[in-house]
Structure 1
Amino acid sequence: MLFGKLLPKEGNFFDLFNQHGTHIAEGARAFMQMIENYADPLLRQKYADEVDHAEHAADRVTAEVNRLLHLTFITPIDREQIHGLINAMDDILDLLQDSSETMSLYDVRAIPEDVLRLGQVSVRCCERVQHAVTLLPRLSKPDTVEAAIKTCREIDKLESDADRIMRSAMSNLFRDERVEVRELIKLKVIYEQLELISDRCEDVANLIEGIVLENS
């Protein structure tokens, strides 16, 4: 009995995943607001600060998950899956913050339509990640398993959409002779960073799908 009392409990890993997923969705929406209000320096900075706030909050969640892993004897899913998932989720917000900072540091003159389109896909990907994470505690239910797999497939499709938008954007960028070389270089980097956000969301979806299949 005493030994059982001394064993660390499962911890609140699923709650922490949910918290992190909320920060991802908040950061993505703030990032989109920053893009949409890019022409207004005050609003641009306001929403960039909100992206930073979401990233810092998510970092604290990631640190807590890793701390709990060292203290918890029995975990609800495989320890490597927990570690891999929380760090993959953290990569998403890191990229959102990096993209926000890049736009500011590069002093992009104007936001092309393709940046808006990539931003919109990024937000949808992040919101789907948030939804997929909320399903993890209920994998014993067949309908939840089906919903989780469906959400992961939706993220895969969004990543493919982002890939197509990025390729089209690059083609338009290099074909437009009115674009100055410096602006071309800036936009090329931004397009690539925005496409990477959906890539990282797909990484999370693949991890979640693996967890679902192994634990359902």
Structure 2
Amino acid sequence: MAFNLKPKEEKFFQTLAEHSMLVREATELLHSAIADRSQVPELMKKINETERIADEIVDRILAKLHKTFIAPMDREDIFTLAKKLDDIIDCIKAAIERMELYNIDEPSDRIREMAELILKCGKQVEKAIFSLQDMKKERLRLQARCERIIDMEARGDELYRQEMGKLFRECTDAINIIKWKEILVNLEEVLDLSEDVATSLKRVVIKYA
């Protein structure tokens, strides 16, 4: 009896693609929160819903891994990608949650630039994950997208160090220092996790493309 594994492969890639769309949506919500603080309460509701759907997708991926005899990629690679994508959404939720809880003041230009980088990373992560569905054909584009993400993470690190240094040098309000320090850590972690996704994808390309 012949077994057709292709539909299972397509479902794996499709599910990861759905997950990456939620990552991109989450980065848009964060960008909007930084751009307009008055939207934060409504954006908090939206990110909660995004996280709920993302958690359901992770459960579906784990169930597929458990049931599928042959997966289109190494099971560990699939799990790692799903986990990192979910971590990005969780970290974005934590940042927006703190913005609402702390009733933050106006973000600095560097923080706005970090939000812009996160937005761009979200778009590149989505495109890169979609490229997995035709990895051999999309190999060069996929690698280029990964390099863009890595470059943006490096720029984000610079902004993080500069802003954190300025915060401790110039801010005289200890509570305000704590507020922005925690949010900055969240923003930097989102970029780090995006780089982790890019690094994982580069390994996948080496293995399978």
Give TM class, smaller chain: over 0.9
Query: Given the alignment, which residue of 77, 99, 120 partners 2:73?
Result: 77
- Between the aligned partners of 2:164 and 2:28, the Cα distance in structure 1 is 24
Is the CA contact 2:10–2:133 (under 8 Å) kept in the aligned structure 1?
no
Is the CA contact 1:166–1:195 (under 8 Å) kept in the aligned structure 2?
yes
Q: 1:201 maps to which residue?
A: 194
For the aligned residue pairs, the C-alpha RMSD in angstroms reads 1.8
Is the CA contact 2:54–2:86 (under 8 Å) kept in the aligned structure 1?
yes
Q: 3-state SS of the aligned residue for 2:149?
A: helix
Q: Percent identity?
A: 28
Moved more, 149-158 or 185-194: 185-194
Query: Given the alignment, which residue of 165, 170, 189 partners 1:171?
Result: 165
Q: 1:31 maps to which residue?
A: 30
Q: 2:117 maps to which residue?
A: 121
- Residue correspondence of structure 1 range 173-192 to structure 2 within 5 A: 173-177=167-171, 179-192=172-185
Moved more, 101-110 or 164-173: 101-110
Matched, 1:63 2:62: no
Q: CA deviation at 1:55?
A: 1.5
- Between the aligned partners of 2:87 and 2:54, the Cα distance in structure 1 is 10
CA deviations on 1:114-168 (whole Å, 9 max, x unpaired) are: 2211111111111111110010011122xx1111111101000000010001111
Higher helix share: 2
Q: 1:161 maps to which residue?
A: 155
Q: 2:99 maps to which residue?
A: 103
TM-score of the superposed pair, with normalisation by structure 2: 0.93
- Between the aligned partners of 1:148 and 1:109, the Cα distance in structure 2 is 39
- Between the aligned partners of 1:9 and 1:22, the Cα distance in structure 2 is 20
- Between the aligned partners of 2:96 and 2:185, the Cα distance in structure 1 is 13
Paired AA for residue 66 in structure 1: L
- Between the aligned partners of 1:4 and 1:27, the Cα distance in structure 2 is 38
Paired AA for residue 15 in structure 1: Q
Is the CA contact 2:88–2:193 (under 8 Å) kept in the aligned structure 1?
yes
Paired AA for residue 68 in structure 2: T
- Between the aligned partners of 1:101 and 1:13, the Cα distance in structure 2 is 31
Q: 1:140 maps to which residue?
A: 136
Matched, 1:212 2:205: yes
CA deviations on 1:179-201 (whole Å, 9 max, x unpaired) are: 41110111111111101100000
Q: CA deviation at 1:11?
A: 6.0
Q: 1:12 maps to which residue?
A: 11
Runs of 4+ in 1 over 3 A off after TM superposition: 8-11
CA deviations on 1:64-101 (whole Å, 9 max, x unpaired) are: 00111111111111111111111111111010001111
- Between the aligned partners of 1:34 and 1:168, the Cα distance in structure 2 is 22
- Between the aligned partners of 1:4 and 1:149, the Cα distance in structure 2 is 32
